[in-house]
Amino acid sequence: MNDPFEQFDLPVAFEVDRQRLDERFRRLQAELHPDRFVRQGDQARRMAAAVAADVNEAYAILGDDYRRAVHLLERTGVTFDPERDTSQDIEFIEAQIEWRERLEETAASSDAAGLEAVATELAQARAEARAKVADALKEPGTPAADAKDRVLELRFFDRLLEETKRTRQNLARGK
């Protein structure tokens, strides 16, 4: 895969111009649409499909805060193991436990209003975690381990917000 920032002609940075990203994506999709290669044969269509898949993956990376941050850190040699990596910040680990307990208690009591309150607080905490990632990736002197911890915290909030969404859906269905 080519570098996503190069593919979309964007500066290598955590903050991306979302409008520019979306416009470039639509233009690349149009350029690589299989119908444009019908007269050029199977090989040209396969090549276009492969490049289109690469563009789709690059767009997914650049459009997702966590994946973009991971990509930026990996460019500097930091490795990520999504199955094993967790934040090493003891205070954050304790906060994770508290967040999970609150979500579980709210779900167990089928408290829709309480769930909405937790979701609102989680969204705010996620926004704060995102700001910390942006700062960590903007500051050239930030130690890699600290930047990685901030990125892992962002991943935690993304996952917990997704779990909150599923819990909300289950409560709406009466489960």
Q: Is the residue at 68 inside a domain? A: no
Q: Is the residue at 83 inside a domain? A: no
Q: Is the residue at 144 inside a domain? A: yes
**CA 30, 32, 35: angle at the middle one, nearest 5?**
85
Tokens 């409560």, residue? Answer: 171
Predicted TM-score (pTM) above 0.75: yes
Whether residues 162 and 112 fall in one domain: yes
CA distances from 157 to 22, 92, 108 (A): 25, 11, 20
Whether residues 102 and 164 fall in one domain: yes
Whether residues 99 and 148 fall in one domain: yes
Q: Which CATH number goes with the domain that contains 36?
A: 1.10.287.110
Residue 113 sits at φ, ψ, to 5 deg, of -65, -40
Whether residues 166 and 104 fall in one domain: yes
**What's the pLDDT tens digit per position in 105-162?**
998 888 889 999 999 999 999 999 999 999 999 877 778 888 999 999 999 999 999 9
Per-residue confidence (pLDDT) for residue 88, from 0 to 100: 82
**What's the pLDDT tens digit per position in 119-135?**
999 999 999 999 999 99
Whether residues 149 and 95 fall in one domain: yes
Tokens 């990685």, residue? Answer: 148
Name the domain count of the chain.
2
CA distances from 133 to 30, 40, 157 (A): 33, 45, 12
Q: Is the residue at 72 inside a domain? A: no
Domain housing 28:
4-63
